[in-house]
A and B are shown apart, each in its own frame.
Chain A
Amino acid sequence: MPTEVQRRTSRVSGTRIARGVVVMAVAVVAALIPQMTQNQYYLGVAFQAEMLMCLALGLNIVVGYAGMLDLGFAAFFAIGAYTTAILSTKEHWSIIASIIPGVAVAVACALIIGFPTLRLRSDYLAVVTLGFGEIIQTIAINLNQTGGPTGIYAIPALTIGSVVVASNTGYYYVFLVLVIAFALFSTRLRHSRLGRAWLCIREDEDAAKAMGINTNHYKLYAYVFGAVVGSITGSVYAPALTAISPASFGFSESLLIVMAVAIGGLGSIWGVMFGAAVVEIFPEVFRQFAQARLLVFGVLLVILMVVRPRGLFPERAFQGVGARLRLRLLRDDAAEVPVVETMTARTADER
């Protein structure tokens, strides 16, 4: 194998190590936050932000990677939350055990809704997902089993082995683990043929087919993965709040999650986490302005879309910078080979 290619591959692992260090550093800081403050309000906001990050990471697979606008993501969140709430209060299942049926229902719904609509244009999908979200919320409000408009209360705490998680600090750590898990999972997906296929679908669906990608299947996968993440998050959210009501699972919630992804940057894991933090914390910071803050938020969102349609930190916003820096730093390695020579000189046989 030519040394040029070898050299290039080893350059890449250098940046990978650097990236790993940054991730570790952030994780450590995040783990230390509860030690820095005992304020329950802050901790509550913090774990809500983490929860939103989880949801944003899930939606990121659907919207950020595969490019499908899902306006009803809160439905999967609701399915997980309600399944856990019902099973733990009525049938005395443990929280952890109830995650599985929640995921099963969410996946089933994703397949039922997804199958007829994913093969259609993304605009139709947007409205169908919106409708699906409304349907789930309507069901939650109107069925007795789901507790009607008041919802379900007295949800038992999450127990992991012998540890009972019953405080804001506890749930902060639980959600932190989830965020890290989902972020890692998303990264793994992204750097595999799944992630690449989704990006292709997002960029140019017809050309994606020419790569041999079965676009209908892959869109369904993205939607299902999103459903799984949403559902698991919901299952953990129910015990965290000890009581859930349909009001938390409507279009407004779906919208918040979409905004987190759109603001943070399509496809970028750090970006959507940042976006989720912004979406969660911004209204809290400006709480005194009540309704006006939502108005301002809307205005800012519109301005952002006009000026930066892909969000603040879309994938590759910094990649290009990194690549150019690398080339500049290692210019002596990258030989300036005239174009003519390259095309005619090197072929697979001549290696």
Chain B
Amino acid sequence: MSAVLETERLSLQFGGVNALSDLSVRIEEGALHAIIGPNGAGKTSFFNCLTGYYRPTSGVVRFQGDEITGLNAAKVAAHGIRRTFQNIRVFPKMSVLENVLAGGHLRANANLIAITFAGPGFRRTERKLRDEAMASLEFVGLADQANHLAGDLPYGMRKRMELARVLIAEPVVVLLDEPAAGVSSVERLELSNVIRRVNERGTCVVMIEHDVDLVMEIASQVTVLDNGRVIASGLPQDVRTNPDVVRAYMGRQRQ
């Protein structure tokens, strides 16, 4: 199977701090790939490099074989790589529906003449997009919140909305930054089902997670980061028993 997303010796430096060092990661097509590691390991920085929010100091990022290193965030998104944010970034004064429509930006009609005169073609694409947005919201269970302001939603709903916003773009790769953070155990169950379902549809999912149980349940591949480096990568059950991984989480054993 070919790698849909991979990095080669990716490095990122902030001043004197090495956020990422020599990171080479392969994400297989259709995988449900988890990125785990202790706090400060560089996981979100890694996502930011992949999605064009940070420019890596050195190294290469490849998507479906093409190099995308250093492309800006909008271009990366246009390639079909979509992400959620660790601190959930919704557009607060826009409605839930419009938030999701925003996710479908690139699929909407951009022709100024069509927009100005609202011809049937334009109306058709808009309606189609709206329907898909509602479908996306139904998928995450937020259809009845469609007209509420996103900023008014409680935490759990915002997370789901962010997901709907990602899905409407029909991405090739979905990057989820801590999807299970701050989520109740009931929601966590649904979440794991949703993520699995998204993956089963053929979308590659890469997720940063701290919830090890969730990772073990649904991930097909796990990569462990510590101090900006990969310390283990492979099947979930192998990684969990890897002594380096245990040491990274638990600290060194005292003699």
Contacts and interface: CB of A to CB of B under 8 A. Distances in A.
B197 interface: yes
Contact of B102 (A188, A211, A337, A343): A211
Contacts, number: 148
A346 B139 CA distance: 6
- Please classify the interface of chain A as helix (H, G, I), strand (E, B), loop, or mixed, using the class held by over half of its residues: helix
Interface in B62-105: 72-74, 77-78, 82-83, 85, 89-95, 98, 101-103, 105
Contact of B94 (A5, A200, A322, A326): A200
Contact of B141 (A1, A206, A211, A342): A342
Q: How large is the interface on A (under 10, 10 to 19, 20 to 34, 35 or more residues)?
A: 35 or more
B131 A209 contact: no
A203 B93 contact: yes
B106 interface: yes
Nearest to B142: A342
Contact of B51 (A5, A185, A210, A339): A210
A192 B126 contact: yes
A210 B148 contact: no
A347 interface: yes
B135 interface: yes
Given A1-B131, A4-B143, A340-B190, A188 B115 contact: yes
A23 B68 CA distance: 49
B108 interface: yes
Interface string A84-107: 000000000000000000000000
A247 interface: no
A199 interface: yes
B93 A316 contact: yes
A346 B135 CA distance: 9
A206 B53 contact: yes
Most chain A beta-carbon contacts within 10 A, residue among B74, B117, B201:
B74
Nearest to B146: A8
A196 B98 contact: yes
B190 A192 contact: no
Interface string A57-74: 000000000000000000
B17 interface: no
B97 to A, nearest CB: 10
Contact of B91 (A207, A339, A349, A351): A207
8 contacts: A5-B138, A8-B143, A188-B117, A196-B94, A200-B94, A211-B77, A212-B77, A346-B139
Given A5-B131, A204-B91, A211-B102, 9 more contacts: A5-B138, A199-B94, A203-B94, A204-B89, A204-B92, A207-B90, A209-B52, A209-B74, A337-B141
The 5 A-B residue pairs with the shortest CB-CB distance in the complex, in nearest-first order:
A323-B147, A342-B141, A193-B108, A209-B73, A203-B91
